[in-house]
Amino acid sequence: MKRLRWQILIVILALAAIGILLISQQRAAQPPEAADATGEAGAQPVSGGVYTEGLIGAPGRLNPVLDFYNSTDRDVNRLLYSSLVRFDDRGLPVADLAESWGVSQDGTTYNFSIKAGAQWHDGEAVTSADVAFTVDLLRSPNLPIPDDLRAFWEDVEISAPNPQLVQFILPEPFAPFLDYLTFGILPEHLLGEFAPEELAAAPFNLQPVGSGPYHFVQWLGESDQITGVVLAAFEDYYAPKAFIDQIVFRYFSDPAAALEAYRNGEIMGISEITPEILAGALAEPNLNVYTGRLPQMTLVLFNLDDPGAAFLQVQEVRQALMAALNRQRMIDTLLGGQGIVANGPIFPGTWAYYDGLKSLEYDPAAAVELLKGAEFVIPAAGGTVREKEGVRLAFTLLHPEGEPYTSMAQFIQQSWAQIGVEVTLEAVPYDTLIENKLTRGDYTAALVDLNLFRSPDPDPYPFWHQAQMSGGQNYAHWDDRPASEYLEQARITLDLAERTRLYRNFQIRFSLELPALPLYYPVYTYAVDSQVQGLSMGPLFDASDRFATLVSWFIAPEQNGTGE
C-alpha cells in the first residue's frame, strides 16, 4: 500500500446491523494529548495574543488534497482543517472529528461516528457526506495525488448511512488502514459543484473554509506578492478553543532570512532550523530550540541477488561492514549532530519499536575477525584488499549526487578500506538511482533514504517481504521466510499487543540478518521564542506535526498585551 518516497460499491447497512459491527476497538472522543500547559516558568496559561512564525517556502493552495508536494501549505492546513483521526507521537491513533470508531471482526469494515456539533468555519455542520466527498477527490487522476494513495482509495468502498456515520469497506483486512484517515476533510457544500480538474483553480483555495482550530482571516502582501497569511482561533471549534487568538505565518525564501527576521523582532518562531543556521539559532538567548525525530532512515542497501557480489549474501560479511562504521561520528562530523543512530526500519519512540534490540557497535577489530571467520584474508603476496578463493572483497557503492551524500559515501569508503574492503563510489541523480538502478536491480550497494513521511503505522511489508522482491520495493531482494511471516501477520492483525510482538520478532530477525545497514534517523529542528509557552514536540511523522499541541500553547501574560 505504501510507496517508498525518496527526496516524496457503496454499501448502506441498517443502523442495527452497523451497531453489531462495532467491537472493542471503539475509542472515546478525545483530542491529541496536550502539552503540559504550565509553561517553562510555571506560568498559568492565558488566552490572547498573536503568534507569528516564519515559514520557509512559498504558498500554493490552502487545500489539503492539493498540498502533498508543498510542506509550507501543509503547515497552514494543519490548523485550518480536521481529519477523522490524528496520530500521537508514538504513532497511535487519537480521535479528531471522530467521536468513536469500530472495526468488524473480520477486519474489513470500519465505522466512524462524527462528533455532534462539529461545524465548518462558515457555520454549516460537518457531515459524513463531506468525508465521502473528500475520498472521491483522493481517487481522482486529475489531481496531484500520489499514485499509491490514489490506487489505495480506488479499492475502498465508502458510504454515509446518515449524516453522523461514515463506513469504509476494505477488500481484505489491513491493520494500517487508520494511517490513511489523516487527510484534511473538505466541505462538499462549497466544492461539490466543481469537477476535480477545476479544483486547482477554485477561489476556495485562496479563501479556505475548514473545521480546524483556526479559521482563515486574510492574506498579507507587498507589491502584488503574498508575504503571509493570518488565521484566528475558531470560536465554535468542537474541541477546547486555542489559547492564542491569532496565528500569523510569514513566508521567507530561506532559513537565514527567517533568522534575521527573528532578530529584528518580526517573527516569534522559525519553522525549520537547518544546519546552516543552527549555530546562529542556538546563540539567540531567548530562542528555544526543539528537536524531533523524522520518519526517515538513511541506510546502505545491498542487492543480495547480485551474482557479481555473492559475498554480500554471507551474513558475517554484512555484519563486518556494519561493525566497521562509526555511525555516531558520521552524525557528529557530517550532520552537525542532527541525527540519531539507527537500529532498524521501525522508528524509536513509536509503539512498534522494540527497545531491547541489540545492534552491532563500532568495532573495527571485531569486523576484521568476522571477515577472517568468513575466510576472507589479506593475500600473503601483499595488498590491502581481502580475498577468498580469488574473489576480491570489492564492489561499487552508488550514492545520490550532492551533500550530505557525497561526504557520507566517502566516510563509508574510508571506513571499509581500513578492514580491507575496496569500495568504488559512483554518484548518480537521485531519480536515476531509484528508477533506473534500484527498481531494475542494477546495483550492488546503494546509499539511500527510506522515507515514511505521513505514515505513522510502521508496516515494513512493502520494503522487506519476499513477495515484494519482484515488481515491489524489496530492492534488497531479502528472501527471508521468518521475517516475511511476521510482516504478513502484522498487517492483518488488529490486536495491538499481538502486532507489537510480531514487529518485535521482525526487528530481531532484521538486526541479525542485516539485509541493509541502518545508519541514522534525521531530526527536525524547530525554534520558538521563550515568551511562547506550553510547547512540547515529540517524534514527527510530518513537519506539521509540530502543531499537534498548538491549542495548548500560550503567550506569557507580560508579552501578550493582556496586562494580566
Task: Give the model confidence (pLDDT) of 231-242 as tens digits.
Answer: 999 999 999 999
Per the CB < 8 A criterion, the answer to whether 555 and 45 are in contact is no
Task: Read off the CATH number of the domain in which 20 is found.
Answer: 3.90.76.10
**441 lies in some domain:** yes
Q: Are residues 74 and 92 in the same domain?
A: no
Q: Are residues 383 and 518 in the same domain?
A: yes
**18 lies in some domain:** yes
Number of domains in the chain: 3
Per the CB < 8 A criterion, the answer to whether 139 and 9 are in contact is no
Q: Which of 202, 230, 246 is the last residue of a domain?
A: 202
Q: How is 367-435 classified by DSSP, letter by letter?
A: HHHHHHHTT-B--TT--SS-EETTEESEEEEEEESSTTHHHHHHHHHHHHHTTT-EEEEEEE-HHHIII
DSSP β-bridge partners for residue 270: 54, 527
Q: Are residues 404 and 471 in the same domain?
A: yes
Q: What pLDDT shows up at residue 281?
A: 97
Could you give the C-alpha distances from 165 to 14, 113, 434, in angstroms and in order?
A: 12, 5, 42
Q: What pLDDT shows up at residue 379?
A: 84
Query: What b/e sequence results for 19-40 when a residue is b if at least 16 CB atoms lie within 10 Å of its CB, and e otherwise?
Result: eebbeebebebebbeebebebe
Three-state secondary-structure class, residue 292: strand
Rounded (5°) CA angle 515-518-522: 150
Mean pLDDT of the chain: 90
pLDDT at 476 over 90: yes
Q: Note down the domain range covering 387.
A: 296-522
Q: Which of 560, 491, 502, 509 is nearest to 532 (CA)?
A: 560
pLDDT at 350 over 50: yes
Percent of the chain with pLDDT over 70: 91
Q: What pLDDT shows up at residue 560?
A: 53
Confidence band for 44, pLDDT divided at 50, 70 and 90? confident
- Report the C-alpha gap between 398 and 402 in whole angstroms: 12
Q: Which of 42, 35, 36, 70 is nearest to 56 (CA)?
A: 70
How do beta strands 109-114 and 391-392 pair?
A: unpaired
Q: Are residues 197 and 235 in the same domain?
A: no
Q: Tell me the pLDDT tens digit for each residue of 18-39.
A: 333 333 333 333 333 333 333 3
**207 lies in some domain:** no
Q: What mean pLDDT is predicted for residues 250-255?
A: 97
Q: Are residues 326 and 469 in the same domain?
A: yes
Q: What is the Rg, in whole angstroms, of the alpha carbon atoms belonging to the chain?
A: 25
Q: Are residues 46 and 92 in the same domain?
A: no
Q: Which of 180, 202, 224 is the last residue of a domain?
A: 202
Q: Are residues 420 and 380 in the same domain?
A: yes
Q: Are residues 3 and 89 in the same domain?
A: yes
Task: Read off the CATH number of the domain in which 425 is found.
Answer: 3.10.105.10
Q: What pLDDT shows up at residue 11?
A: 30
**535 lies in some domain:** yes
**186 lies in some domain:** yes
Burial of 250 (0-12, 13-18, 19+ CB in 10 A): middle
**291 lies in some domain:** no
Q: Which of 29-38, 155-164, 388-397, 451-460 has the lowest mean pLDDT?
A: 29-38
Rounded (5°) CA angle 342-344-350: 85
Q: Which of 349, 295, 270, 355 is nearest to 538 (CA)?
A: 349
pLDDT at 216 over 80: yes
Per the CB < 8 A criterion, the answer to whether 174 and 491 are in contact is yes
Q: What pLDDT shows up at residue 261?
A: 98
Q: Are residues 361 and 245 in the same domain?
A: no
Q: Are residues 1 and 145 in the same domain?
A: yes
Rounded (5°) CA angle 165-169-173: 130
Q: Which three cell numbers stand for residue 190?
A: 462549497
Confidence band for 559, pLDDT divided at 50, 70 and 90? low
Could you give the C-alpha distances from 10 to 136, 450, 483, in angstroms and in order?
A: 12, 36, 36
Confidence band for 49, pLDDT divided at 50, 70 and 90? very high
Rounded (5°) CA angle 508-510-512: 70
Q: Which of 183, 202, 221 is the last residue of a domain?
A: 202
Q: Are residues 360 and 443 in the same domain?
A: yes
Q: Tell me the pLDDT tens digit for each residue of 481-518.
A: 999 999 999 999 999 999 999 999 999 999 999 999 99
**472 lies in some domain:** yes
Q: What pLDDT shows up at residue 538?
A: 87
**130 lies in some domain:** yes
Handedness of CA 205, 209, 212, 214 (dihedral sign): positive
Task: Read off the CATH number of the domain in which 237 is found.
Answer: 3.40.190.10
Q: Are residues 339 and 439 in the same domain?
A: yes
Q: What pLDDT shows up at residue 359?
A: 83
